[in-house]
Amino acid sequence: EAQVTQNPRYLITVTGKKLTVTCSQNMNHEYMSWYRQDPGLGLRQIYYSMNVEVTDKGDVPEGYKVSRKEKRNFPLILESPSPNQTSLYFCASTPAGRGTDTQYFGPGTRLTVL
Amino acid sequence: AQRVTQPEKLLSVFKGAPVELKCNYSYSGSPELFWYVQYSRQRLQLLLRHISRESIKGFTADLNKGETSFHLKKPFAQEEDSAMYYCAHGFNSGGSNYKLTFGKGTLLTVNP
């Protein structure tokens, strides 16, 4: 089944403890991105990647890192999480980042930073 | 900066009533606009895109360049339409980079 998967789905951690949220897609998509969803703020793009080894900042990249060593994986790294990064995170992929392409979203990861 | 505005955070209608979810964008070029929907406890999924001129689940959206709007409409709302709706605008941000900007979303509740 074509899909985008994220792990973990739920995570509670403490301030400063490094964490990684994984994202994987099995559709051979070139374009992948990370969003955070917050009440009243909607979805905001954190980082995106046009292809392997090509990444760029979205609208709210501060405090996050990403890597794209393989086409299928696009992990989100929080080196030193803080409480303001408590949010619902979505990974998405698109065949080639063209304007007409559908974004396929993962199920979301709910992160709480204490 | 490109902007997508959804003026209504909440919209409540009765079953069978018409519904319109508003979306305005700011972009001087040819926009690429989408509506995404998120049902309770489910992932976001594409509802429709302006380039396809399609009708999905009874919803339609017309691009009005003069008013820079892409409102989502349905003539007769159903209870299963209750969800969060996001308007999104895709654009080339330089070179081959493509970004998608979302509005803040409108929570639609269809009452029985």
CB contact under 8 A, B46 and A99: no
Segment 59-98 of chain A within 8 Å of chain B by CB: 59, 90, 92, 97-98
Residue A40 near residue A59 (C-beta atoms within 8 A): no
Token representation of residue A97: 């980042």
Binning pLDDT at 50, 70 and 90, where does residue A85 land? very high
Determine the Cα–Cα distance for residues B3 and B12; give it in Å rounded to an integer: 25
pLDDT value, residue A95: 85
pLDDT at position B65 is 86
Positions in chain B whose pLDDT score sits under 70? 1, 93-97
Interface of B with A in 45-104 (CB under 8 A): 45-46, 49, 51-52, 86, 90-92, 96-104
Interchain proximity B98–A105, CB inside 8 Å? no
Please tell me which residue of chain A has the smallest CA distance to B10. A40
**What pLDDT was estimated at residue A63?**
97
Neighbours of A85 (CB within 10 A): 20
Q: What was the pLDDT predicted at B47?
A: 93
Give the pair of three-digit tokens for residue B88. Answer: 């999104």
B41 or A27, higher pLDDT:
A27
Q: Which residues of A touch B45 (CB under 8 A)?
A: 105
- Residue pair B70/B62 in contact (Cβ under 8 Å)? The answer is yes
